[in-house]
Structure 1
Amino acid sequence: MAKIKFTLFSLKDAVFAFGPIALLLLAIVVSAYYLVDPAPGRTLDFSAGQENSAYEIFAKQYSEELAKNQIALRVHQSQGSQENLEKITDLESNIDIGFVQSGSTNQLDAEARGLISLGSLFYEPIWIFYRSKKEWTSFEELRGKRINVGPDGFGVRRLFRQLLSVNSMEESEVQLQQDENTPATVAFIEGKLDALVMSSAPDSLLIQMLLQTPGVRLFDFAQAEAYTRRFPFLSHVILPRGIVDIGKNIPARDYHLISPTATLVAHESLHPALISLFLQAAKKIHGGANWLSRQGEFPSDRYTEIAVEKQAEKFYKSGPPFLQRYLSFWMSNFLERMWVVLLAFGALALPLSKIIPPLYVWRIRSRIYRWYGQLRSVEHAIDEANVKQRKQIAQDQMKKLDEIEARVNQLSIPLSYAEELYGLRSHINFVRQRVEVCL
């Protein structure tokens, strides 16, 4: 056991040699972790839409996707795009991101508010449902009708007013109501309204229900292409024949629709690492084919009047960041944020690797060399003693030598330093011989 003991690496000495420097480097890394480009928050607030709306349904899907990366996304209901814009702009509302319909603002206003776009996500057609024995072919048919356009927060009224203007009509020429979609739909079914104007993805339960309700017609925008030329934020989309129910052939023909797009909008203070994470989630949620878009059409950096953030542009050109393709979000984010610190750490580690081994050697040998001071004090005491006191002093120094030798014999050092230990023991014997001469 003794042989094993003396051949083992001295962990205690290594800790004392390496420990202070390692703690210093660790303190630097930890400080940099919190001070250099802080990590993204683990809780975010998302402003969606009304209960059971397409906005709320999609927002909950985003919450599920982000939860896979240990990020909690709290979904808040709202009246729609206009309210979402206000909440994102107002930093005191603590809303980080939300859905905003294209056409709700303009680039200059968005820049002044500090808003950024992560891209467009899906089409939100203008659905005009009506009850009539004959088909409506123009906006003239709406004159004098009772029409619900939803609350101001939806932004539908603003868009509907623009559509009326290009058809040479005034808002006063129709009877507008601004009830929420669910009670308005009930009133429409009961015959208390002549038409409903909505803007929503076809995923909305109300839209799907109305498309299959007997006696309810859908307005066909035969001039859809002309509308998109007048309003660049609109797109011409087609609701294909039979897409709702192929077996029942609903709808019985193709319908031309004009459509804004839902965009993912955030404040410019949103952490850059989260942008890529949201877009990866968007690709899973909106990347497939649906009633109105083809596979891979969304998410997209088109169809948005708000400037697309640079990090988002990189995603659309080359996909997720390199590290996020192979590592977890938090690990890749740590490496991306800390690469400067890690380089500095490597630069420090190289010279320190040359300093620490000598410190370790010095610590081992210092346990031996410090006894030479004791031996020198014994010799000095003998040399300075007068003749009368020399014998007594020699006896005292002999006891001291015995104590030194006993302590030295208890030293535990690695075998590679045994030469220094045995040299010390031989020097103790040498001094002992000098003291014995004086006895």
Structure 2
Amino acid sequence: MKLLLLYRRRWWLFYLPLVLCTAAALWWSATHWLVLPPGKAVIAAGSPQGSYSRLAQRYAEQLERTGLNVEIVYSDKQNGSLEQLMDARNAAGIGFAHGIYANARSPVQALAVVGQEPVWVFSGADGPASLAQAKGARVAAGAASSSSFMAAKVMLEHAGLRPADVHFDPAVGVAAAEALADGKIDVLFLAAGEDSQAVQLLTRQGNIQLLGTEHAGALVAQEPHLQPLLLPQGAIELRGDIPPRDLTLMSLQTHLLVRPEVHPALQRALLDAAIAIHEGPNFLQRHGQFPSFRGSDFPLSPVARAYSLGARPWLETLLPYGTAQQVELLMFAIIPILAIALILLAWIPRLFDWRISAALNHFYGDVKFLESDMDKIATENPMALRRLLERLDNIERQVVALDLPDEFSDRWYTLREHLAAARERLLKLRSR
């Protein structure tokens, strides 16, 4: 009987496939569904002397408090942080960049806008009083790939000047500031924070003037990556009245960036760190202004969008980073899968019990119908008892051929006894 063959091979046909399916489900859950977050984060910081280097250090300190191991990797380029993120061979998954670098082909996502850096435009003692007068001027704006140069090019075009109308100098930082003070260059463009050494040096020199941007709204309409920023009179130094009047500067937004494959839990940990680092007020920044999820130049991460709406796994509100995801995997994957597997393992023997019981009950039913027909036929048509005997022989042959597991032998012998009793009764009816 096929049933007995299945029963004897139940370990290979039922139990082993179930165990393998359970192991596959656990593996898939841990590697594709509820993947545990990494224990290490790699941050691309660009130049070791740049502002992103200091920012990366602050993020590393915040993340290490959650138990993460953080590595900071550097590059000798000004936009090295973004380039490292865009290089698939680089291990970095976190970085920073100005929004002016954003384009539709950027394979990175923004978690938030975490700050703004003014584009400072300084003019020397003999330099122009406005950008419109800078034709033929010697302009320092850094390398052609730098955000300062890109902003300078847009701002000069807005003032009516083409790149060929000025002479660009590759000097940057303090070297450019000293060149401006010495009269070696006429105009300096510098995208940097107020704590930049070059900015601190130039804003306090009496022969250096800080230029504002005229028609800033029109410039924003032309280049949305630049945003207007009001620098109030005396904001840099109140006693020295620096600047001597309100100025409208242009600014570049600083973005916290991640690769799309960065684990959602790590992205939320980064956003927690961003709030701790950037929420407080500072120069030209109100309390709570950053991090901001609006006006991002890079595509906003879906995790950041959900975070901005308050959506967060409830376990993360109770447990620390890493532990929450482990508990989530345990609660929603491991325990349910193992519970289903155990139920199925317990159900397989019951399946065989039910199937074998159904087969035996089928023969018991045939015997019962045959006994009912005995009394009726013996009274009405005694000659038909021979057909009943043939039916009984057929049933008995099937029962004898029924090869059942040992644990069902008692029920098999009981069925044989019922068949023997039915045969004995049938023979007595025929002998009348």
- Alpha-carbon deviation of 1:97? 1.7
- 2:84 corresponds in structure 1 to 87
- Alpha-carbon deviation of 1:76? 3.0
Match of 1:209, SS? helix
Contact persistence 2:268–2:304 (CA under 8 A): yes
Residue 170 of structure 2 is aligned with which of 170, 174, 178? 178
Residue 279 of structure 2 is aligned with which of 262, 281, 287? 287
Contact persistence 1:289–1:295 (CA under 8 A): yes
Q: Provide structure 1 residue ranges, at least 5 long, that are not aligned to the other structure.
A: 1-23, 356-439
The answer to whether the aligner puts 1:131 opposite 2:127 as a matched pair is: no
Q: Superposition pairs for residues 417-428 of structure 1, below 5 Å? A: none
- 2:305 corresponds in structure 1 to 313
- Alpha-carbon deviation of 1:28? 8.9
Contact persistence 1:52–1:204 (CA under 8 A): no
Going from structure 1 to structure 2, the CA distance change for 1:34 and 1:345 (only over 3 Å counts) comes to: closer
Which amino acid in structure 2 is aligned with residue 125 of structure 1?
P
Going from structure 1 to structure 2, the CA distance change for 1:249 and 1:51 (only over 3 Å counts) comes to: farther
Contact persistence 2:179–2:185 (CA under 8 A): yes
Which amino acid in structure 2 is aligned with residue 265 of structure 1?
L
- 1:73 corresponds in structure 2 to 70
- Alpha-carbon deviation of 1:296? 0.9
Match of 2:160, SS? coil
Match of 2:122, SS? strand
The answer to whether the aligner puts 1:328 opposite 2:320 as a matched pair is: yes
- 1:154 corresponds in structure 2 to 146
Match of 1:259, SS? strand
Going from structure 1 to structure 2, the CA distance change for 1:51 and 1:228 (only over 3 Å counts) comes to: same
Aligned length: 328
- 2:184 corresponds in structure 1 to 192
Q: Deviations over 1:37-72 (max 9, x none)?
A: 532322222222334432222111111111111223
Q: Superposition pairs for residues 237-386 of structure 1, below 5 Å? A: 237-318=229-310, 321-344=313-336, 347-348=339-340
User: After alignment, is 39-48 or 232-241 more displaced?
Assistant: 39-48
Contact persistence 1:234–1:259 (CA under 8 A): yes
Between the aligned partners of 2:196 and 2:73, the Cα distance in structure 1 is 17
Contact persistence 1:81–1:100 (CA under 8 A): no
Contact persistence 1:32–1:338 (CA under 8 A): no
Q: Provide structure 2 residue ranges, at least 5 long, that are not aligned to the other structure.
A: 1-19, 348-432
Contact persistence 1:79–1:151 (CA under 8 A): no
The answer to whether the aligner puts 1:64 opposite 2:61 as a matched pair is: yes
- 2:102 corresponds in structure 1 to 105
Contact persistence 2:74–2:80 (CA under 8 A): no
Between the aligned partners of 2:157 and 2:122, the Cα distance in structure 1 is 20
The alignment's C-alpha RMSD in Å is: 3.1
Going from structure 1 to structure 2, the CA distance change for 1:284 and 1:244 (only over 3 Å counts) comes to: same
Contact persistence 1:48–1:80 (CA under 8 A): no
Which amino acid in structure 1 is aligned with residue 276 of structure 2?
K
Between the aligned partners of 1:61 and 1:214, the Cα distance in structure 2 is 34
Which amino acid in structure 1 is aligned with residue 286 of structure 2?
R
Between the aligned partners of 1:261 and 1:143, the Cα distance in structure 2 is 28
| Percent identical | 25
Between the aligned partners of 2:285 and 2:209, the Cα distance in structure 1 is 22
Between the aligned partners of 1:264 and 1:80, the Cα distance in structure 2 is 18
Going from structure 1 to structure 2, the CA distance change for 1:162 and 1:349 (only over 3 Å counts) comes to: same
- 1:122 corresponds in structure 2 to 115
Going from structure 1 to structure 2, the CA distance change for 1:44 and 1:167 (only over 3 Å counts) comes to: same
- 2:45 corresponds in structure 1 to 48
> When the two structures are superposed, what TM-score results if normalisation uses the length of structure 1?
0.67
User: After alignment, is 191-200 or 72-81 more displaced?
Assistant: 72-81
- Alpha-carbon deviation of 1:321? 4.2
Contact persistence 2:127–2:186 (CA under 8 A): no
Between the aligned partners of 2:214 and 2:331, the Cα distance in structure 1 is 57
Going from structure 1 to structure 2, the CA distance change for 1:261 and 1:310 (only over 3 Å counts) comes to: same
Contact persistence 2:119–2:190 (CA under 8 A): yes
Contact persistence 1:233–1:304 (CA under 8 A): no
Going from structure 1 to structure 2, the CA distance change for 1:330 and 1:289 (only over 3 Å counts) comes to: same
Contact persistence 2:124–2:181 (CA under 8 A): no
Going from structure 1 to structure 2, the CA distance change for 1:51 and 1:164 (only over 3 Å counts) comes to: same
Going from structure 1 to structure 2, the CA distance change for 1:29 and 1:329 (only over 3 Å counts) comes to: farther
User: After alignment, is 332-341 or 219-228 more displaced?
Assistant: 332-341
Match of 1:318, SS? coil
Contact persistence 2:26–2:334 (CA under 8 A): no
Contact persistence 1:52–1:205 (CA under 8 A): no
- 1:236 corresponds in structure 2 to 228
Contact persistence 1:287–1:297 (CA under 8 A): yes
Which amino acid in structure 2 is aligned with residue 101 of structure 1?
H
- Alpha-carbon deviation of 1:134? 8.0
Between the aligned partners of 2:37 and 2:119, the Cα distance in structure 1 is 37
Match of 1:109, SS? coil
Q: Deviations over 1:67-109 (max 9, x none)?
A: 1112233223335664333221111122212111112132x21
